[in-house]
A = this chain, B = another copy of it.
Amino acid sequence: MIKNDLFLRALKGEEVKRPPVWMMRQAGRYLPEFMAIREKYDFFTRCRTPELASEITVQPIRRYGMDAAILFSDILVIPQAMNIEVQMKPNFGPYLPNPVRDQRGVDNVIIPDVHEELDYVMQAIKATKELLNDEIPLIGFAGSPWTILCYVVQGQGSKTFDKAKEFCFTQPLAAHQLLQKITDTTIAYLKAKVASGVNAVQIFDSWGGMLSPVDYQEFSWKYINQIIEALKDDAPVISFAKGCWYALEEMSNSNASALGIDWTVTPQFARKATNNNITLQGNFDPVRLLSPPSVIKDMVKKMIDDFGKDRYIVNLGHGILPHVPLENAKVFIDAVKEY
């Protein structure tokens, strides 16, 4: 059905002539065509308007021809649908004016009907599928329950998410109730996304690495794994847990189709920790995209050599930075295509 199925074949572990490539946040601020839309429409308008979300999603594909598109959206549409106010403040990032800090706060969080509350996402998927015309697969995503809890409790971004951790460590029962509500909502949300047309889903555990290995199992992985188990017959699931090198082995024994890897993990360590039994995705340091083009090209080649061309999806180790030159992004993508 999908003409370029490199990405889906890599997720199945099939042999490929070269690894597929896409970039986290590829539909983003480094693109002038994205900035043109951003100047006219605010963040949530872009997310909620299918014509805008789909157009933004395909912009990088038109320019660079990645092997997969990822729907333009945000992980915080989930808490927003759960009756928690989320603002996106310019030059600040997410701001939640009424963070959840106690049992009463957890009780006020609802499990929404995602088909109703998040219908705009489903419409955006349908619009994007039309634009993509089955040329390449479309990825849908969600934040991990722990990462969503981080924002919902902390109320904003943080270097340590200490208030989120404090909530878990001092009110574990309330924390687990909140995590379960987020998990249930996320499962329904991702199933609806697959039904609407996405070909794979990725779970972003951006703040998993704030937790110790023991606490990670209790407050994050347990819930990610529930999502993987619930989705495994619907679509391939990629789990990207930034900073969670210590959990790679356990994650590799799950029903995830692939694991995302950040740039602090060497390909050798990642393959060994996962017993060479799962597709890996990553892990170019996003700041390294500011290196001279010849350096980027050499580093991409070495990265593919080190991971191996099969069971591997080329990506960054985190989202692309806003000030990456267009030429450098092109060199990154082309280096994979020329491999």
Instruction: List the interface of chain A (C-beta within 8 A of B).
Output: 157, 159-160, 162, 165-166, 169-170, 209, 211-213, 215, 243, 245-246, 263-266, 269, 285-288, 290-292, 295, 317, 321
CB distance from A271 to the nearest CB of B (A): 14
CB–CB B212/A291 < 8 A: no
Chain B residues in 8 Å Cβ range of A290: 165-166, 169-170
Chain B residues in 8 Å Cβ range of A211: 264, 285
Distance in angstroms between the alpha carbons of A276 and B211 in the assembled complex: 25
CB–CB A246/B269 < 8 A: yes
Contact partner of A166 (CB less than 8 A), chosen from B243, B264, B269, B287, is B287
Chain B residues in 8 Å Cβ range of A266: 213, 246
CB–CB A321/B162 < 8 A: yes
Shortest beta-carbon contacts, A-B, top 3: A165-B287, A212-B263, A169-B291
Chain B residues in 8 Å Cβ range of A265: 246
* Chain B residue nearest in CB terms to A321: B162
Distance in angstroms between the alpha carbons of A246 and B261 in the assembled complex: 14
* Chain B residue nearest in CB terms to A214: B266
Copies of this polypeptide in the complex: 2
Distance in angstroms between the alpha carbons of A291 and B166 in the assembled complex: 8
Contact partner of A291 (CB less than 8 A), chosen from B157, B170, B245, B269, is B170
CB–CB B246/A287 < 8 A: no
CB distance from A292 to the nearest CB of B (A): 7
Task: List, sorted by A's number, 11 A–B pairs whose CB atoms are closer than 8 Å.
Answer: A159-B159, A162-B286, A165-B287, A169-B287, A169-B291, A170-B291, A212-B285, A246-B264, A246-B265, A246-B266, A246-B269
CB–CB B170/A209 < 8 A: no
Chain B residues in 8 Å Cβ range of A286: 162
**New A-B contacts (11) at CB < 8 Å, excluding given A169-B291, A212-B317:** A160-B287, A165-B285, A165-B290, A166-B290, A170-B290, A212-B264, A212-B285, A215-B285, A243-B264, A246-B264, A246-B265
CB distance from A13 to the nearest CB of B (A): 26
Chain B residues in 8 Å Cβ range of A243: 243, 264
* Chain B residue nearest in CB terms to A247: B264
* Chain B residue nearest in CB terms to A292: B170
Distance in angstroms between the alpha carbons of A295 and B168 in the assembled complex: 13
Chain B residues in 8 Å Cβ range of A166: 287, 290
